[in-house]
Structure 1
Amino acid sequence: MRILLVLAHPLPESFAASVARAAREALEASGHVVDLLDLYAEDFDPRLSEAERRGYFDVPYDTSAVAGIVDRLKAADGLVLVFPQWWFNFPAILKGFIDRVFAPGVAFTHDTAGGRIVPQLTNIKLLYALTTTGSPWWLVHVYMGNPVRRLLKRGIANFCAKRVKFRMLSLHDMDRTTDAKRKTHLERVRKALAAV
């Protein structure tokens, strides 16, 4: 498989970068081709432009400003997102990636009857999210209802790709975790990606 591995963290020495390395190594060791898209290193602009918003319902929608990344997404069989959760949400750069790249004609088309959208990322067979959160498990799951998982699984995965295999691996309480727990999480990531 060809995997688009998207990293969304500004610090190259971050734990997220370590997770991305572990994921890449495990995937490549299993014979997969990995295309690393480091959003910060590639200076991705997350801002949806005025022209992009005004033309949102144009057919065809103009993706020329992100054409290179759209091509990389369309060439992939799987998508692995690596990011921290900040304020129970995506980092702004990852949200902008979704806003600008998961666009009409790329990730979905508008149903001409109105209301519904039709998935277009038929090439994507798996969507994995490898994430961390500063909050403990109970706060994310019980109090907040795990909003990032809901957005990814019920929204993006279901609306953009049919029958996609979805999995989310999270390290909770990141701000107070130990080296041993981080190492255990990296092993968990390696094991999960080696099984792809």
Structure 2
Amino acid sequence: MRILLVLAHPLQESFAASVARTAREALEASGHVVDLLDLYAEDFDPRLTEAERRAYFDVPYDTSAVADIVARLRSADGLVLVFPQWWFNFPAILKGFFDRILAPGVAFIHDAAGGRIVPELTNISLLFALTTTGSPWWLVQLYMGNPVRRLLKRGIANFCSKKLVFRMLSLHDMDRATEARRQAHLERVRKALAAI
């Protein structure tokens, strides 16, 4: 498989960067081709432009400003997202990736009758989210209702692809995680991706 591995963290020495390296190593060891898209290193601009918003319902929608990344997504069979959760949500740069790259004509098309959007990411057969959160499990799950998982699974996965394997691996309470817990999480990531 060809995997687009998207990293959304500004620090090269971050734990998220370690997760991305581990994911890449596991995937490549299993024979997959990995295309690493480090949003910060590639200076991705997450801002939807005025022109992009005004043309959102045009057919075809103009993705020329992000054509390189759109081409990388279209050539992938799977998408692996690596990011921290900040304020129970995505980093702004990853939200901008969704806004600008998962665009009409790329990830979906608008139903002409005004109904549900039609999934267009038929090339993507798996979506993995590898994430961390500073909050403990019970706060994310029980109090907040795991909003990031819900948005990825019910929103992006279901609205962009008809049949997709979705999995999310999270390290909770990251700010207090010991080195042993961090290493155990990296091993979890390694095993999960080696099984693809």
Pair in the same fold by TM > 0.5: yes
Secondary structure of the 2:156 match is helix
Question: In structure 1, how many angstroms separate the alpha carbons of the residues matched to 2:133 and 2:157?
Answer: 21
Counterpart-to-counterpart distance in 2, 1:115 and 1:181 = 46
Instruction: State the partner residue of 2:124.
Output: 124
Query: In structure 2, what is the equivalent of residue 151 of structure 1?
Result: 151
Map 1:1-196 → 2, pairs under 5 A? 1-196=1-196
SS at match of 1:132: strand
SS of residue paired to 2:104: coil
- Separation (CA, whole Å) in 2 of partners of 1:190 and 1:59: 41
Q: Return the letter of the residue paired with 2:159.
A: F
The root-mean-square deviation of aligned C-alpha atoms, in Å, is 0.3
Structure 1 SS opposite 2:103: coil
C-alpha distance in 2, partners of 1:148/1:115?
25
- Kindly provide the CA deviation profile for residues 87-109 of structure 1, in whole angstroms up to 9, marking residues without a partner as x: 00000000000000000000000
Q: State the shift of 1:163 in Å.
A: 1.1
Aligned partner letter, 2:88: F
Q: Take 1:120 and 1:151, find their aligned partners in 2: how far apart are those partners? A: 18
Alpha-carbon distance in 1 for matches of 2:15, 2:176: 13
Per-residue CA distance 1:9-36 (angstroms, 9 max, x = gap): 0000000000000000000000000000
- Cα separation, 2, equivalents of 1:114 and 1:190: 43
Q: Distance in 1 between matches of 2:34 and 2:191?
A: 17
Partner secondary structure for residue 3 of structure 1: strand
Paired-residue identity, %: 86
Q: Quote the offset at 1:53 in angstroms.
A: 0.2
Question: How much does 1:115 deviate?
Answer: 2.6
**Structure 1 residues without counterparts, runs of 5 or longer:** none
1:62 is aligned with what amino acid? D
Unaligned ranges ≥5, structure 2: none
Partner deviation per Cα, 1:48-101 (whole Å, 9 max, x = no partner): 000000000000000000000000000000000000000000000000000000
> Offset of 1:116 from its aligned partner?
1.1
Question: Aligned partners of 2:176 and 2:187: how far apart in 1?
Answer: 19
Other structure's SS at 2:122 match: coil
How many residues matched? 196
SS at match of 1:89: coil
State the distance in 1 between where 2:24 and 2:116 align. Answer: 35
